[in-house]
Structure 1
Amino acid sequence: MEDSEKPGAARAVRRTVLGDAYVDASAADPDPVAAEFQDYVTAVAWGAWARGGALTNRDRSLLVLAMTAALGRMEEFRLHAGSAHRAGVTDAEIDELLFQVTGYCGAPAGVAARRSVKQVRAERERAARDGAGR
């Protein structure tokens, strides 16, 4: 991939995994520093996804979930747990990941991540119910 193609590829992967609504909302801040920061985050974090290599987006999603849980970054963990299905990650895989996080990073990290997963799933079920009732 040419250097000139990298920013667009990073933006495309971010949009594919996190969804249009999230990316559009994060880009809506009129503050120029916020826009520059979003561009930087996209280039650094999502550029790693867009570079290719031996890992699939599913693999990368699982790794991001494990790392954010291990670091106690529950806001980011929730974001990625709610978006992981777009990268091909199943609920069963997230459940298994929580056992690994707990075993290798400790019960506080695993318990916090489990709480977040329960919240994400409850929100997803509520949205599905609300959408089905229309």
Structure 2
Amino acid sequence: MKTIISTARTVLAIALLSTLAVSAYAGAVDYEFQPVKTELPTGPESEFAVKIVDKRTGKPVSDAVIFETRLDMAPDGMEAMTSKVDALPSQEPGVYKFKLNLSMAGGWRFKMAAKIQGEEDTAQGEVILKAAD
């Protein structure tokens, strides 16, 4: 009987510690992608910046690794119309800059995926932009 009680206590302790360990870490949903500006000029040299923010603290997230970007005209019903995105250097912590080729006026969707230091899951976000002549 003592062995059963001891085993039950051990299992309960492990389960409790596992729950606490999991809840101590943030998940990919704890990050927000905020545009610095949403209205941009058309053309091949439009500069765009996104700030990645930890929702729990409100602080910018530096040193994220952006490994996937996509720019398309999904807001105007033309998801197949994509355009080039080039990364640019940024001097501001937590701000990630890009050069976009906004070939025509209208609504554009900018999607990105990032690996956040210390996070297992990939953080993903999208921002809707407006390009004007």
TM bin, normalised by shorter chain, reads under 0.3
Normalised TM-score (structure 2): 0.22
Computing the radius of gyration over CA atoms, which structure comes out larger, 1 or 2? 2
Q: Which has the larger share of strand?
A: 2
Higher RCO (CA-CA < 8 Å; seq separation 6+) = 2
Q: Which has the larger share of helix?
A: 1
